[in-house]
Amino acid sequence: MSGFLELLLNGVTLGSVYALVALGYTMVYGVLRLINFAHGDLFALGAYLAFSLMTASALSSRLAGPGGLVVVLLLVMLFVALAGALTERIAYRPLRRSSRLAPVVSALGVSVFLENAIMLVYGPDYRVFPHGFLPQVVWSLGAGVHVALVQLLIIVVSLALMVALYLFVQRTTVGAAIRAVALDHDTARLMGIDVDRIILLVFLIGPALGGAAGLMVGSYYGQISFQMGWGYGLKAFTAAIIGGIGNIPGAMVGGLLLGVLEALGAGYISSAWQGAITFLVLILILIARPTGLLGERVVSKL
pLDDT at 121: 95
Say whether pLDDT at 300 is over 60. Answer: no
**What is the rounded distance in angstroms from the CA atom of residue 154 to the CA atom of residue 160?**
10
pLDDT tens column, 30-70: 888 888 999 999 999 999 999 998 887 556 666 666 677 88
Say if CB 215 and CB 76 are below 8 A apart.
Answer: yes
Say whether pLDDT at 296 is over 70. Answer: no
pLDDT at 245: 82
Say whether pLDDT at 199 is over 90. Answer: yes
137: exposed, middle or buried (Cβ count in 10 Å: 0-12, 13-18, 19+): exposed
pLDDT tens column, 96-117: 888 888 999 999 999 999 999 9
SS3 139: strand
Total-model pTM: 0.90
pLDDT at 65: 64
Q: Which residues pair with 148 in a beta bridge?
A: 138
**H helix or E strand, kind and range, residue 224:** strand 223-224
> Between 173-183 and 149-171, two packed helices, what is the crossing angle to 10 degrees?
80
